[in-house]
Structure 1
Amino acid sequence: MKKNVFQDQWAVCYDQSNWFVSLRNALDGLTTEQASWKAGEQTNSIWEIVNHLIYWNERYYDRFQGIAAWETSSKNDNTFAPIDGWNWQETVEKCYLILSKWIDAMENSEEDKLDGLATENLDYAWSSVLSNLTLHNAYHIGQIVYIRKQQLSWDSAKGVKG
């Protein structure tokens, strides 16, 4: 049962708009200039938000696959930094790839894994981690849509099914 819920949550975050717009819809047609745009110095660009999503989704995907967690930045703000040498399209494709991998991981995982501890260093069940991770994605997808509305690059026809 939990597995099915997480499969649905990952699919909605990735490419199946439902109660909120999927990331694929939120980024569709976005130019490099639009992805780089900031409303002010204290805000993040869409590109920076996508970098942040890649960082956290990949980090926990690796853990879910049994790969030891790699060294992390001491500041969450650093996770928004550009990935060296990547252009906007490469960044988008990397983000789509990791979300696609999560969908496959959910499909191929055993239900009881979701009740187990996420890692030896965390006292959280995978179900808790995955719940927070998908909510984290939804939160930032909302930010992306909001930024697109600010810059007048949002097509309201990309709405939700809810």
Structure 2
Amino acid sequence: MTEIERLLDQFRRAYNGDSWAGPSLVDTLQGVTAAQAAAHPLPGAHSIWEIVLHLTTWVEIVQQRLEEDKLIGPTDAQNWPGLPVVTDEAAWQQAQANLGWAHEQLLSKVASLRDEDLGRHLQPLDDYPASTPGPYYVLLHGLVQHNLYHTGQIALLRKAFA
């Protein structure tokens, strides 16, 4: 098995597979209603829906970083987008579908890489102060860790509705 295949396996396990850390993101979101997703059961904490939008942003940013070979980042508004004006079940399902689509697009890009690419470093941009140091390898493993971290947050937020 190549390192790229291992990375793809980790992305799949964290998103909708058999994750070592616990339920996958998809399993953790299973059964969450739009009202629950939009709620803020913990003062000062993001809602489940906001976390899903944040995860989508970062999956898209990492794909864009790989596509452009540049260290780009989201704006503050992109990093933690607000909820849509309409927060009904259709909008909630669309938010989850957007995350799934972004995830599949990223996996397609990662699958096009070679193991040798994992040592490459992103080209920094002068106007983007925040950085993710290290090679593609660190970037991709970091995104798997990021996804699992927020999956844990969602799992805790769900407990407010149990």
Q: What letter is aligned with 1:17?
A: D
Q: Does residue 1:118 correspond to 2:128, yes or no?
A: no
Distance 2:54 2:135 in 1: 23
- Please list, as runs of the form range in 1=range in 2, the aligned pairs for 1:64-83 lying within 5 A after superposition: 64-66=66-68, 72-73=74-75, 75=76, 79-82=79-82
> Which structure would you say has the larger RCO, counting Cα contacts within 8 Å and 6 or more residues apart?
1
Instruction: Kindly state the Cα deviation for residue 85 of structure 1 after the two structures are TM-superposed.
Output: 5.8
2:150 to 136, 140, 153: 140
Distance 1:91 1:67 in 2: 27
| RMSD (Å), alpha carbons | 2.3
Identical amino acids, percent of aligned pairs: 24
Instruction: Kindly state the Cα deviation for residue 40 of structure 1 after the two structures are TM-superposed.
Output: 3.0
Task: Give unpaired runs (5+ residues) of structure 1.
Answer: 153-162
* 8 Å Cα contact 2:69/2:122 also seen in 1: no
Task: Give unpaired runs (5+ residues) of structure 2.
Answer: 126-130
Q: SS where residue 117 of structure 1 aligns?
A: coil
Instruction: Kindly state the Cα deviation for residue 17 of structure 1 after the two structures are TM-superposed.
Output: 2.6
* 8 Å Cα contact 2:50/2:80 also seen in 1: yes
Instruction: Kindly state the Cα deviation for residue 80 of structure 1 after the two structures are TM-superposed.
Output: 2.1
The more displaced of 116-125 and 90-99 is 116-125
2:51 alignment partner in structure 1: 49
- TM-score, normalising length from structure 1? 0.80
Q: Does residue 1:91 correspond to 2:95, yes or no?
A: yes
